[in-house]
Amino acid sequence: MDRATTPRGRRTAAFLTLMSTVAALPGAACAVAWGSGPSASALGPIGLAPDGTVAAVVLSDVDGDTVHVRVGERDEPVRFIGVNTPEVDWYGGRGGCYGPTSALYTRHRLLGRTVRLVFDSRLRDMYGRLLAYVYVRGELFNLTLVRMGYATADPVPPDTRMAGAFAAAQSAARAAGRGVWTACSAG
């Protein structure tokens, strides 16, 4: 009897196939993390739409610039590209001025809504979060956060496609004294 046709031979072959697939994952993860650009295969079973975006439902907020979404059957953390909101103290850390206000605004606007995630150069950050421009009904929510003074512009190369728009929105919000620019002026 041929060894590959025995139950033990089939299990060994299946195990070796699985291990060779797992061994290839770190290299693929590094290629995505270091700027080769997102691809449908990098998202695995999530997949990208033909336009390179992903539809997702916002499940919860972490703070003003990070949410959890459902994509297919997966719960994925998403960090908004190009913006930074003040920290919240909800997790035992030190909160920043306007942090809870920014987080509650994000929760109010996005919780339970379907959003479209658009990627720049990298798919994930070093913490495993998806990095995305978040659109809700055609509105670039990242930009809204900066324009309304809930966030500051925070360009992190190589994901800087919208950096100019964020910088302009920040200048306008600062000049108008919106959000953090008035509430946190002493800091």
Catalytic residue positions? 79, 87, 129
State how far the Cα of 30 lies from the Cα of 109, in Å rounded to an integer.
Answer: 33
- Sign (positive or negative) of CA dihedral 67, 68, 69, 71: positive
- Sign (positive or negative) of CA dihedral 89, 95, 101, 107: negative
User: What are the beta bridge partners of residue 84?
Assistant: 152
Residue 42: C-alpha distances to residues 27, 78, 122, 144, 159 (Å): 11, 15, 10, 29, 17
Contact 133, 120 (CB under 8 A): yes
Q: Which two tokens stand for residue 3?
A: 């060894």
Name residue, tokens 């001025």. Answer: 97
